[in-house]
């Protein structure tokens, strides 16, 4: 069944007057489920990890169309992933309804120096806490320049706490280059949020799944076969337990 990012991509394509051509990468046929060449498809490896936490992606206009987008990976792993296209002049009523849903405690994930100090938090209530609201992490899925504009121009988010992450690692994302080791891709940010929520199985799965996607994408781009017994697939097997063992061993 298509997830939120897939549906948003389809809606964005339906509004396009001409086909979207990604910069770089490969131009051949792509799998609709993972955006890779069919020869390097990873749909069979898609993990699903139970979690009470959710993710809300506010996506820049063409972000759902980019084959290197990692919000797609979050939606593969986290069942309660919501995706909305961002626009300065209008807000999807479904987004406002989500933010008002009493089951969720939304957090806008953004560096604290860009928010009023009284809004900034560095911790969240664990997702498994009894009787508490479920954490909903709002991520701007965009370039850094776009994300800053989106943060400033989304007044409906102003009442929400801003979760300021304090990462100790550098980015491992290799498919786009921002020139900054402290700029993380969207799925890396989601993994850090899941760690704060105590959802370590989801955190580890997102990290491993990104590594597998990167491996498949670069191998397809360079017309090389997949290394099914390599480190990336081993990490995913360890993160998911037996869930992917039979898939990788028979590939």
pLDDT of residue 248: 45
The pLDDT assigned to 130 comes to 63
pLDDT of 28: 65
The mean predicted confidence, pLDDT, of the chain is 87
Top-confidence range, 43-47, 124-128, 175-179? 43-47
Is the pLDDT at 243 greater than 50, yes or no? no
Q: What is the pLDDT of residues 195-230, one digit of tens each?
A: 999 999 999 999 999 999 999 999 999 999 999 999
Residue 172 confidence (pLDDT) above 90: no
Residue-by-residue DSSP string for the chain: ---HHHHHHHHHHHH-SS----SSS--S---TTTSS-GGG--GGG------S-EEEEEE-TTGGG-TT-SHHHHHHH-SSEEEEE--SS---HHHHHHHH-TTEEEEEE--GGGS-GGGEES----TT-TTPPEEEEEEEES-HHHHHHHHHT-GGGTTS-EE-----S-----SS--S-TT---HHHHHHHHHHHTT-HHHHHHHHHHHHHHHHHHHHHHTT----TTSHHHHHHHHHHGGGTHHHHHT-
For the chain, the farthest-separated pair of C-alpha atoms sits apart, in whole angstroms, at: 54
**Nearest-CA neighbor of 138 among 176, 168, 101, 89?**
101
Most confident of 33-37, 125-129, 186-190: 186-190
Instruction: Note whether 62 and 20 are within 8 A (CB).
Output: yes
| Of the ranges 10-14, 174-178, 191-195, the best mean pLDDT one | 191-195
Q: Give the per-residue pLDDT at 151.
A: 97
Is the pLDDT confidence value at 181 over 90? no
């Amino acid at each position: 069944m298509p997830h939120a990012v897939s549906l948003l991509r389809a809606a964005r394509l339906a509004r396009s007057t001409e086909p979207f051509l990604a910069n770089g990468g490969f131009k051949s046929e792509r799998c609709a489920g993972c955006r890779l060449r069919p020869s390097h498809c990873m749909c069979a490896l898609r993990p699903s990890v139970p979690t009470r936490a959710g993710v809300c992606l506010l996506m820049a206009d063409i972000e759902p169309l980019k084959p290197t987008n990692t919000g797609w990976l979050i939606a593969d792993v986290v069942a309660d992933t919501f995706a909305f296209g961002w626009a300065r002049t209008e807000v999807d009523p479904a987004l406002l309804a989500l933010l008002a849903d009493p089951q969720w405690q939304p957090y806008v994930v953004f560096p604290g120096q860009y928010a009023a100090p009284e809004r900034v938090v560095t911790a969240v209530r664990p997702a498994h806490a009894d009787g508490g609201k479920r954490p909903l992490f709002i991520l701007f899925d965009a370039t850094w320049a776009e994300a800053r504009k989106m943060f400033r121009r989304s007044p409906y988010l102003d009442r929400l706490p801003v979760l300021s992450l304090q990462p100790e690692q550098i980015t491992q994302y290799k498919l786009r280059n921002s020139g900054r080791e402290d700029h993380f891709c969207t799925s890396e940010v989601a993994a850090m949020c899941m760690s704060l929520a105590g959802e370590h199985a989801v955190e580890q799965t997102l990290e491993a799944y990104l590594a597998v996607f990167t491996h498949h994408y670069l191998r397809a781009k360079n017309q090389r076969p997949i290394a099914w017994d390599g480190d990336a697939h081993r990490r995913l097997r360890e993160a998911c337990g037996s869930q992917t063992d039979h898939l990788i061993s028979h590939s």
